[in-house]
Amino acid sequence: MAKYERSFNGDFSAFMNALNESILNGSISASLEDSSSIAIGDVKCEVRVYERYSWTGGNRVSLNVTALGHDGRICVTAITSGGSQAMFMKMNTVGEEAFLEKVADFIDNYAN
């Protein structure tokens, strides 16, 4: 499992649309598995679960993105999992790390 977190200023809806497009266009096998949108007053929360095939691991890797937006501030957490074929311990997490790295690079570039 790999995790990335970042906070920055920006338009929440524009960021979520751009992030979704980046993930789905970043890999031919990427898919949005499910999502949830919640708003309480002017606080917005998005949870999205993506999957893609990992050539190096020979399996599918999942990515959970949770983002919170309020008063022009965005906080995002991205966590990957599923990139291992071992039964009792985690091995070969290259697929997870590569999926997360692409998302982290996008967010870092977007935030700057």
Quote the pLDDT of residue 35.
98
- Average pLDDT across the chain, whole number: 89
**The token pair that represents 35 in the structure block:** 């999502």
| pLDDT single digits (tens) 32-82 | 999 999 999 999 999 999 999 876 666 788 999 999 999 999 999 999 987
89 pLDDT more than 60: no
Choose which CATH entry (3.60.21, 3.30.310, 3.10.20, 3.30.70) describes domain 2-111: 3.30.310
Under the banding of pLDDT at 50, 70 and 90, the label for residue 1 is: low
Q: List the domain boundaries for the chain.
A: 2-111
Mean per-residue pLDDT, 5-33: 96
Please name the residue that has the structure tokens 């997360």. 100
From the number of C-beta atoms within 10 Å of its C-beta (0-12, 13-18, 19+), residue 49 rates as middle
Q: What CA–CA distance (Å, rounded) separates 55 from 88?
A: 22
Mean per-residue pLDDT, 8-34: 96
Mean per-residue pLDDT, 26-32: 93
